[in-house]
Amino acid sequence: MEASARSAQRIDVLIGGAGFAGLALAIALRQGLGPSFSVTVADPALTGAAKDARASAIVAAARRLFETIGVWQEVEAQPILDMVVTDSRLSDVVRPVFLTFEGDVGPGEPFAHMIENAALLAALVEKAKDEGVTLRTAAVAGFAFTNDRVSVRLSDGDTLAARLLIAADGARSAIRERAGIASHGFSYGQSAIVATVAHERDHRGRAEEHFLPAGPFAILPLKYDPSVGHRSSIVWTEQAHEAARIVALPDAEFHAELERRFGLHLGEIKVVGPRRVHPLGLSVARTFIADRLALVGDAAHVIHPIAGQGLNMGLKDDGLNRLFSNQSDVLRFVRDLGLGVVDRLPALKHLFIREAAGLVGEVPKLLRGEAL
Ligand SMILES: Cc1cc2nc3c(=O)[nH]c(=O)nc-3n(C[C@H](O)[C@H](O)[C@H](O)COP(=O)(O)OP(=O)(O)OC[C@H]3O[C@@H](n4cnc5c(N)ncnc54)[C@H](O)[C@@H]3O)c2cc1C
């Protein structure tokens, strides 16, 4: 590697991974440090062949970042106008509502929007090209550190000599592993079934989080699609083996399981597009930086999707999910009491919603909506 590093193309930063984290960082670096600062993003998925079928809740702080770097304007987003949280058993006929939120963190600013991942990723790729980021359809296959560089071998055979390598290659980061950085965490033993559901009636921008005994079942509003009609995205948590069983059911049986949880308050429902399962875990890398290497996004930390915070960079612990995935009547009483109190105290509720929107505490510049 030493010899090839001397002859290799020299760049400032090489980012391995073109997900939300890698692309947003590449754009922000070019915008903040100017055209003489060279940034390359390498990812085999840049062919665009495999589309991410998921949708994500983008909280206000993350939205401000996407606005500031100039991609939000290109994406059709559904504002979350209000939210209800219920806590019940699957067999309960009526689901008691313990918490309701109106969706604004400030005048006219919803605390979160729903977007489709593929649309936001496409907008990020276009913006990255406009900003002069070099995109390479290749994986980071290996690297070695020299005196003042990191020599990075790509899967297409090229070698680049960068001043900094950034691992943005997701939860199972091979770059992190290759650098010998341990990651601590655990699996929840749960998986999330994710799908898009078409329904007869308008969701009116309402998000629902139903805390069922197996875990949270979220119904998240999507933008109206003329070819499908009213739509929502579901994130349906089950024990891992049960999720695998359910997702493999024939259509009619899957539909019956879905309807038991979704209900008929939005009229008849129908799954559109693929159903997918994502194992859920929590992990944090032992360090986010090393010599000439930095970890960002899921490569650095992964949290439960319960609060839609994955992108909002590793802020929360996992207590909420544990509390809600338990059938104990005592725990149920305690959590309902807690939610009931939050629901009745407007100031606390406002704090809760600003916290969920990523706007509490030390908020970095881009998340405040300010350029670097
Ligand atoms: C079910 C579910 C629901 C979620 N819902 C939300 C939500 O509502 N809101 C929210 O904020 N977050 C949510 N999240 C979390 C969010 O999706 C992640 O935090 C986010 O996608 C992480 O982005 P990333 O760029 O770090 O990694 P990824 O999106 O995983 O991207 C990593 C990229 O690296 C590439 N790659 C892999 N190996 C290499 C290599 N060797 N070289 C180069 N490239 C490589 C991959 O091809 C991939 O494109 C959810 C997660 C799950 C599982």
DSSP state letters, 243-299: HHHHHTS-HHHHHHHHHHHH-STTSSEEEEEEEEEEEEEEEEES-SEETTEEE-GGG
Closest-CA residue, ligand 1 atom 13, reads: 310
**Percentage above 70 pLDDT, the chain:** 78
Order of strands, sheet of 269-285, starting from the edge strand that comes earlier in the sequence: 97-102, 82-87, 206-212, 215-225, 229-239, 183-199, 269-285, 301-302
Site to substitute for ligand 1 among 15, 46, 51, 56, most atoms within 8 A of C-beta: 56
Contact 290, 282 (CB under 8 A): no
Q: Residue 83's closest CA among 353, 269, 310, 359? A: 353
The Å distance, Cα 21 to ligand 1 centre, comes to 8
- In this structure, the residue with its CA closest to atom 26 of ligand 1 is 297
Q: Alpha-carbon distance 6 to 334, whole Å? A: 63
For the beta carbon of residue 182, count every other beta carbon within 10 angstroms.
10
> What integer pLDDT is reported at residue 265 of this predicted model?
92
Q: What is the predicted pLDDT for the residue at 49?
A: 67
Maximum alpha-carbon separation in the chain: 70
- 168: CA distance to ligand 1 center in Å? 9
pLDDT (0 to 100) of residue 108: 79
Ligand 1, atom 51: nearest CA belongs to which residue?
305
Q: How far is the CA of 298 from the centre of ligand 1 (A)?
A: 6
Shortest-distance Cα residue to atom 15 of ligand 1: 310
- pLDDT of res. 187: 83
C-beta separation of 123 from 107 below 8 A = no
Q: Whose alpha carbon is nearest atom 3 of ligand 1?
A: 305
> Any idea which residue has 């509390």 for tokens?
323
Lowest-confidence segment of 129-138, 149-158, 209-218 by average pLDDT: 209-218
- List the one residue out of 40, 301, 23, 299 whose CA is nearest residue 156: 40
Query: Residue 265 C-alpha to ligand 1 middle, in angstroms?
Result: 32
* Residue 359: predicted pLDDT: 67
Yes or no: say if 200 and 270 are a contact pair by the CB < 8 Å rule: no
Which pLDDT band, with edges at 50, 70 and 90, does 321 fall under? very low
Residues 98 and 336 sit within 8 Å (Cβ to Cβ): yes
Spell out which residues line ligand 1, taking CB within 6 angstroms: 16-22, 42-45, 56-57, 139-140, 168-170, 174, 192, 194, 235, 278, 297-299, 305, 308-312
HEC profile of 165-217: EEECCCCCCHHHHHCCCCEEEEEEEEEEEEEEEEECCCCCCEEEEEEECCEEE
Q: Which two tokens stand for residue 120?
A: 């936001």
Token reading at 337: 């009491």
For the cut 70, the answer to whether the pLDDT of residue 23 exceeds it is yes
Residue having the nearest C-alpha atom to atom 50 of ligand 1: 305
In the predicted model, what is the mean pLDDT of residues 192-215?
94
- Cα separation, 14 vs 56, in Å, equals 26
Please state the φ and ψ torsions of residue 180, each to the nearest 5 degrees.
75, 25
Question: Residue 41 is encoded by which pair of tokens?
Answer: 């993003």
pLDDT at 345: 54
Closest ligand 1 atom to residue 280 Cα is 53
Answer whether residue 320 shows pLDDT above 50: no
The CA–CA distances, whole Å, from 238 to 19, 65, 128, 211, 278 equal 26, 32, 37, 11, 11
Residue 153 or residue 211, greater confidence:
153
Mutate to test the pocket of ligand 1, among 13, 15, 43, 59 (most ligand atoms within 8 A of CB): 43
Rounded to the nearest angstrom, the distance between the alpha carbon of 62 and the centre of ligand 1 is 15
pLDDT tens per residue, range 337-366: 455 545 555 555 565 566 666 666 666 666
Give the closest residue (by CA) to ligand 1 atom 20: 311
SS3 for 347?
Answer: helix
Nearest CA to ligand 1 atom 27: 170
pLDDT for 137-190, tens place per residue? Answer: 999 999 999 989 999 999 999 999 999 999 999 999 999 999 999 999 888 899
